[in-house]
Amino acid sequence: MNYYERKAAGICARCNNPATNGVYCDSCKAKNKAEKRKLYDERLANYDCVKCGMPTFGKAHCEECLRINRVKQKQRYDNQTEEQREKKYLYNRMWLAEHPEKKILYQERARERNRRYENV
């Protein structure tokens, strides 16, 4: 059986045991998560993009993956309803109230961005 046949039959795509909540069984989910985390940590330590493995010169993502992530993020935001946007806004306000050090950091970044790009 190939991957798609096992998936349609509700069998784990990796070990042929019954799948739980998706394509894999619980033990295979844990194995996949551990393997992905190890790969992520290795790429991060070697200054490679954590998604595609290209050199990034000290950043977590390469320019191409960043561009793709920004487009996906914008599409997700555009597909949200006003209620979802309001809920996210209130959550962010609550989180910033609980973490004043982050609020200060974000304000400093905004000031620096304004200083560099808007006051030219």
Q: Is 48 helix (H, G, I), strand (E, B) or coil?
A: strand
Could you tell me if residue 90 is inside a domain? Answer: yes
This prediction's pTM: 0.65
Task: Give, in order, the Cα–Cα distances in Å from 33 to each of 4, 81, 89.
Answer: 21, 32, 31
The token pair at 62 is 């390469």
Could you tell me if residue 99 is inside a domain? Answer: yes
List the domain range (segments joined by +) for residue 91.
81-120
Q: What is the DSSP letter of 117?
A: I
Could you tell me if residue 103 is inside a domain? Answer: yes
**pLDDT tens series, the chain, 120 aa:** 888 999 899 999 988 899 988 899 999 999 999 999 999 999 999 999 999 999 998 889 999 999 999 999 999 999 999 999 999 999 999 999 999 999 999 999 999 989 888 765
